[in-house]
Amino acid sequence: MSARLKDPLKAPVLSLVGNTPMASLRFNPEGVTLLAKCEFLNPSGSIKDRLAKTVLVDAVKRRLLRPDSIILECTSGNTGIALSMVGTAMGFSVTILMSEGASEERRRLIRRLGARLILFKSAGRYQTGIKASLEMAARDPRYFLTRQFDNPLNVADHEHGTGREILRQAKGSIDAFVAGYGTGGTLAGCGKAIKKQWPKARIIAMEPAEQALLAGECPCCHYIEGVADGFIPRLLQDAPLDGEQKVSSAEAMTMARRLHREFGLLVGTSSGANVAAALRVAQELGPKAKVATLLCDRAERYFSTPLFDDEKPRPRKRSVPRP
Ligand SMILES: Cc1ncc(COP(=O)(O)O)c(C=O)c1O
């Protein structure tokens, strides 16, 4: 631990995580209203700040982190940024393993926050990075693995944190909750909290149409960063799921751009995907249905990705010289 902070639990950034606002979005011409939880307003810009705070605070309280510990995680980006922010602010060293495919913006933020970044070639197989992180931890006892894919705190935190916040902010019954899954923590935790209070609520998984594993289809590449890493995560196994909605990468980007321009919400591709799926669920349930979803991260994280391809200047047509 650096000498910067005597008590890691007093890091000021910790008090900024969670308790995000809920926006009520009226969609015309669809004629439905969605409740959208603004997770992109967390301090590092994504829902993953919650996991980082909960796991690291727990580790400090249980004395699992020592002054020379190095926080280690394999991540598709947002968890890496969140752990880098919370971990370094608490005074610890952080090492992040990330697929070479992750956006340049994510890499820069991790480095800027003071963490060490190791890129691995995934060839679509996220498990490669997870295996590498386990091997590193086996070789060097200083590494502390946050284990986002197995850690029960991931689900518990969303059940008692995000899920309860949604229940409070929805002010009354909820008919459906729609979200994508990476580790499955958000969907399982929020799903459990909502089902407990409203057993008839439908908990729906958003899946990239190119990789609808819950729908029994084969993995293929998609552009919805942060979700669907090519396998069904363990944490999703006891999630109270009622079905899934497939959203293509193109649909996700179109909806994300609509959220930017029509609502002024600068969110990332997966937020577009969540909203596109939630909109379909709300249309199926009827105009009075109360459907909640999540806006997971910020648009600025995607400048170099296809989400912003529509901003690129188009090649000008050469004018043909008149004879
Ligand atoms: C960008 C992004 N990060 C994280 C998550 C949640 O992931 P997890 O299943 O790991 O809780 C989502 C889910 O929609 C997401 O879109």
Q: In terms of domains, do 236 and 119 share one?
A: no
Mean pLDDT of the 246-257 span:
95
Atom of ligand 1 nearest to the CA of 180: 14
Residues 174 and 297 in one domain: yes
Per annotation, catalytic residue among 44, 46, 48, 271 = 48
| Strand positions, DSSP E, the chain | 22-27, 32-38, 70-75, 93-99, 116-120, 143-145, 176-180, 202-208, 243-247, 291-295
d(CA 197, CA 1): 42
- Is residue 272 lining ligand 1, measured as CB closer than 6 Å? no
Out of 98-107, 124-133, 182-191, pick the least confident: 124-133
Amino acid found at 252: A
Residue type at position 91: G
What average pLDDT does the segment 218-234 reach? 73
Q: Does 167 share its domain with 302? A: yes
**Using an 8 Å Cβ cutoff, are 100 and 121 in contact?**
yes
Our count of domains for the chain comes to 2
Residue 185 CB less than 6 A away from ligand 1: yes
48 annotated active-site: yes
Specify whether 179 is located in the same domain as 288.
yes
Q: Could you say which of 92, 119, 145 is where a domain stops?
A: 145
| 181 domain-assigned | yes
Same domain, 297 and 240: yes
Whether 317 maps to a domain, the answer reads no
Q: Could you tell me if 86 and 168 lie in one domain?
A: no
Residue 193: burial class (beta carbons within 10 Å; 0-12, 13-18, 19+): buried
DSSP-assigned letter for residue 40: G
pLDDT bin (cut points 50, 70, 90) of residue 124 is low
Q: 38: CA distance to ligand 1 center in Å?
A: 13
Chain-centre distance for alpha carbon 133:
20
In a domain, 152, yes or no: no
The boundaries of the domain holding residue 201 are: 8-41+163-308
205 and 127 in one domain?
no
Assess whether 227 and 133 both reside in one domain.
no
Asked whether residue 213 falls in the same domain as residue 273, the answer is yes
Task: Indicate if ligand 1 lies below 6 Å from the C-beta of 70.
Answer: no
Residue 155 lies in a domain: no
Task: Supply the pTM of this predicted model.
Answer: 0.91
Q: Which residues contact 54 (CB under 8 A, 6 or more apart)?
A: 153, 154, 156, 157, 161
Band of pLDDT at residue 1, cut at 50, 70 and 90 = very low
Tell me if 184 CB under 6 Å of ligand 1: yes
User: Does 279 lie in the same domain as 174?
Assistant: yes
Task: Output DSSP code: residue 212.
Answer: -
Least confident of 54-68, 100-114, 228-242, 274-288: 228-242
54 lines ligand 1 (CB under 6 A): no
Using the 3D structure, point to which of 145, 171, 202 is the last residue of a domain: 145
Instruction: Compute CA distances 64 → 57, 67, 81, 151, 184, whole Å.
Output: 10, 10, 21, 14, 25
pLDDT at 79: 93
Task: Dig out the tokens for 54 from the structure.
Answer: 């909960």
Q: In angstroms, what is the span from residue 319 Cα to ligand 1's centroid?
A: 47
pLDDT at 3 over 50: no
Q: Say which CATH number the domain at 209 has.
A: 3.40.50.1100
How far is ligand 1, taken at its centre, from the CA of residue 197, in Å? Answer: 23
Token reading at 212: 């609808």
Same domain, yes or no, for 138 and 189? no
Q: Ligand 1: does its nearest atom lie under 6 Å from the Cβ of 274? A: yes
Q: Which of 94, 111, 145 is the last residue of a domain?
A: 145
pLDDT average, residue stretch 276-281: 98
Evaluate whether residue 256 is within a structural domain.
Answer: yes
Residue 180 lies in a domain: yes
Q: Is residue 223 part of a domain?
A: yes
**Residue 258 lies inside a defined structural domain of this protein:** yes
In this structure, the answer to whether residues 117 and 191 fall within a common structural domain is no
CA of 298 to the centre of ligand 1 (A): 12
